[in-house]
């Protein structure tokens, strides 16, 4: 067997330490790249988070505007419904207060019950043309 000299051991140690150093440098390079990629990804996520926060702020203000508009429209609608109800009540009251309306309502009722032209003219004191008009309108609606 050949004798191992101190120089041979030193050469093996230098080669081994060089190999280990290269391996460490390679691992250091790989981990450095991964850290750099992680930092870039983190920066992108932070920017996206900031953009999302700004968009949320804009949407919240738009929702507040829409809510205010809806409340305003709701108040107007309630006012319009009240106005329409008041008008309907006034119209109904006028219907019964107007003497002419009573005459025409009575004449229409008589036409519906089958009264003839002369009877409608006499009882409701309507001119012939108006009585004929009521009768023709009633006949058309049937």
Model pLDDT for residues 8-17, shown as the tens digit of each residue? 899 999 999 9
**Distance between CA atoms of 21 and 135, rounded to whole angstroms?**
117
DSSP, collapsed to helix, strand or coil, labels residue 49 as helix
**Distance between CA atoms of 12 and 17, rounded to whole angstroms?**
8
The answer as to whether 137 is a domain residue is yes
Model pLDDT for residues 35-87, shown as the tens digit of each residue? 999 999 999 999 999 999 999 999 999 999 999 999 999 999 999 999 999 99
Radius of gyration for the chain, computed over Cα atoms and rounded to the nearest angstrom? 50
The answer as to whether 138 is a domain residue is yes
Is 36 or 135 the better-scoring residue by pLDDT? 36
The answer as to whether 86 is a domain residue is no
Model pLDDT for residues 108-133, shown as the tens digit of each residue? 888 888 889 899 888 888 889 988 88
Residue written as tokens 């005459």? Answer: 103
Looking at residue 51, its pLDDT comes to 96
The answer as to whether 113 is a domain residue is yes
What does DSSP assign to residue 80?
Answer: H
Residue range(s) defining the domain that contains residue 113 = 98-142
Q: Give yes or no for a contact between 120 and 102, defined as CB atoms under 8 angstroms apart.
A: no
């Amino acid at each position: 067997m050949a004798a191992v000299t101190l120089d041979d051991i030193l050469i093996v140690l230098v080669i081994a330490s060089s190999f280990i150093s290269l391996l460490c440098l390679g691992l250091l390079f790989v981990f450095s790249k991964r850290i750099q990629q992680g930092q870039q990804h983190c920066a992108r996520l932070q920017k996206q988070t900031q953009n999302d926060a700004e968009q949320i702020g804009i949407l919240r203000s738009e929702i507040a505007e829409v809510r205010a508009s809806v409340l305003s429209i709701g108040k107007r609608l309630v006012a319009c419904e009240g106005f329409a109800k008041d008008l309907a009540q006034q119209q109904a009251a006028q219907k019964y207060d107007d003497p002419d309306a009573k005459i025409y309502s009575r004449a229409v009722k008589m036409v519906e019950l089958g009264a003839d032209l002369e009877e409608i003219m006499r009882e409701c004191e309507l001119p012939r043309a108006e009585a004929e008009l009521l009768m023709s309108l009633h006949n058309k609606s049937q």
